[in-house]
Amino acid sequence: MMDLSERNERLFFKLLIDNVEELLPVVYTPTVGEACQKYGSIFRRPHGLYISLKERGKVLDVLKNWPEKNVQIIVVTDGERILGLGDLGLQGMGIPIGKLALYVALGGLRPSLCLPVSIDVGTNNQKLLDDPYYIGLRQKRTTGEEYDALIHEFMLAAKQEYGEKVLIQFEDFANHNAFKLLAKYGRTHLVFNDDIQGTAAVALAGLVASLPLTGGTLADHRFLFLGAGEAGTGIAEIIATEISRKANIPLEEARRKIWLVDSKGLVVKSRWDSLQHFKRDYAHEHEECKTLLSAVQALKPTVLIGTSGQGSTFTKDVIETISSFNEKPLIFALSNPTSQSECTADQAYTWCKGKCIFASGSPFGPVTVDGKTYYSGQANNAYIFPGMGLGCIIAGVIRIHDDMFLKAAEALASLVTKEHLDKGLVYPPFQNIRKISAHIGAAVAAKAYELGLATRLPRPDDLLACAESCQYSPVYRPYR
Ligand SMILES: O=C([O-])CC(=O)C(=O)O
Ligand SMILES: [Mg+2]
């Protein structure tokens, strides 16, 4: 696929669009994870822009080396937390490349607008440092002032070179930098963090879409997360916001329906002093539970969400326990790639005897248990970010607001039909993703206009038609 994209970009995108369900797992999770792990030995051509510590003071010049001048979307990583695979250093470049291929194929953005960036501040992955084919700097990760200064230079240079409306997507940064960068640049740049906000929106969409199957409202659910990092706390916060608005209760009260388990056990008040700031809103009064199983037994959640980056952590005991007190437990194993999924679709459906509603971050095919076939949706931020980018571009958005992610989630949930639900699917199939992205783009753009964050005036009357008409199609021009 990489060879094809080099030789004939239009054909690459045509093939991807026409065979999206088959090829998504190649260009994206799970194969992209393996590609990053082996990136040094399979490297042929750059495909994106590499910015290293050595280029401090010259980042703008480096950007000017990129052949396209009208860049509107940048996906940037520093490679420290690539999917659930950990620190892959500069080889994390596969992720921005994969994500941007989806901006084009799933969202309909022009390839020339897209810039993948990998920032090289070293790696703490000793295996890579010892690997003769490693493509990055052979040093431990720099942190603190030197790190901040390089990122800051990049952020300023991107805005200077491509203007105020270049959308910068932070991807697969480690927790400590992810929250910091989002807070730091959210007010001065058009930025979002896909792992915090994109994943949150896609999870919320699946939960909202599943309500006709479980009955009741979101506020009637009790949520337990394994994993309290970017994805876990991002999803928790969007759920709490949605519940607080829909049930008209204070955010604090909505948050109390949500519990997190991290590597040390249940996040509770008594752990407050040692908790990272992003977990503290979910540190409720409860005795300590050291394991996920004991937390499931104690809290009796209706929804179990895995965002731990740790494979095989939803064990048989855990799944059997949650299905012992739920008619239809919701089980979302969101970690990527497949090897890091908290459980497989097969395990979930087998262990709960077909009772659960299952979705996962990486794709699983249909599963047959006791002669009955079960399907599972792919709860992946790939449903959200391409539409988010499309919406930003058609409306000339200058800042991202959390409400735009809420709208994106609602738009996605609204496209789940009875036919999908009858199959146990809480997401629409990827086959229709370009239409889905156009709907999300229109919803995002509408919200941006409402919030005064859209600069393209006058506002198009029909934003959906506008989004669809702007989508890139990889067709050949007729020659005579
Ligand atoms: O890339 C994906 O498949 C979803 C994602 O952002 C992650 O797992 O970090
Ligand atoms: Mg990611």
Residues with Cβ within 8 Å of 247's Cβ and at least 6 positions away in sequence, in order, are 217, 218, 219, 254
Of 28, 162, 185, 375, the catalytic one is: 28
Q: What is the DSSP string of 1-17?
A: -HHHHHH-HHHHHHHHH
- Nearest ligand 1 atom to the CA of 28 is 3
The predicted complex's ipTM stands at 0.99
Q: How far is the CA of 54 from the centre of ligand 1 (A)?
A: 28
Spatial separation of the C-alpha atoms in residues 286 and 65, rounded to whole Å: 55
Q: CA angle at residue 73 from 70 to 77, to 5 degrees?
A: 130
Q: How far is the CA of 358 from the centre of ligand 2 (A)?
A: 20
Q: Which pLDDT value is given to residue 476?
A: 87
Please give all residues whose beta carbon lies within 6 A of any atom in ligand 1, as ranges: 29, 83, 172, 194-195, 336, 361, 380-381
Q: Which pLDDT value is given to residue 269?
A: 98
Ligand 1 atom 8: residue of nearest CA = 83
With CA atoms as reference, report the closest residue to 63 among 117, 103, 104, 109. Answer: 117
CB-count exposure of residue 387 (10 Å: 0-12, 13-18, 19+): buried
Known active-site residue 300: no
Residues with Cβ within 8 Å of 398's Cβ and at least 6 positions away in sequence, in order, are 164, 165, 190, 453, 454, 455
Q: How far is the CA of 126 from the centre of ligand 1 (A)?
A: 23
**Alpha-carbon distances of 35 from 21, 194, 412, 467, rounded to whole Å:** 19, 20, 29, 32
Known active-site residue 374: no
Spatial separation of the C-alpha atoms in residues 447 and 133, rounded to whole Å: 47
Per-residue tens of pLDDT for the chain, all 480 residues: 999 999 999 999 999 999 999 999 999 999 999 999 999 999 999 999 999 999 999 999 999 999 999 999 999 999 999 999 999 999 999 999 999 999 999 999 999 999 999 999 999 999 999 999 999 999 999 999 999 999 999 999 999 999 999 999 999 999 999 999 999 999 999 999 999 999 999 999 999 999 999 999 999 999 999 999 999 999 999 999 999 999 999 999 999 999 999 999 999 999 999 999 999 999 999 999 999 999 999 999 999 999 999 999 999 999 999 999 999 999 999 999 999 999 999 999 999 999 999 999 999 999 999 999 999 999 999 999 999 999 999 999 999 999 999 999 999 999 999 999 999 999 999 999 999 999 999 999 999 999 999 999 999 999 999 999 999 999 988 888
- Nearest ligand 1 atom to the CA of 381 is 4
Given CATH 3.30.930.10, say whether it is the number of domain 198-381.
Answer: no
2-189 with 198-381: one CATH topology? yes
pTM for this predicted structure: 0.98
Helix (H) or strand (E) holding 305: strand 303-306
- Nearest ligand 1 atom to the CA of 361 is 3
Task: Name the residue of 26, 27, 29 to mutate for ligand 1: max ligand atoms within 8 A of Cβ.
Answer: 29
Q: How far is the CA of 171 from the centre of ligand 1 (A)?
A: 8
Residues with Cβ within 8 Å of 452's Cβ and at least 6 positions away in sequence, in order, are none
Ligand 1 atom 6: residue of nearest CA = 195
Spatial separation of the C-alpha atoms in residues 46 and 131, rounded to whole Å: 19
Q: Which pLDDT value is given to residue 480?
A: 85
User: Could you tell me the two tokens for 364?
Assistant: 């699983």
CB-count exposure of residue 247 (10 Å: 0-12, 13-18, 19+): middle
Query: What size, in residues, is the chain?
Result: 480
Q: Superfamily for 2-189?
A: Malic enzyme, N-terminal domain (3.40.50.10380)
Q: Domain boundaries in the chain?
A: 2-189, 198-381
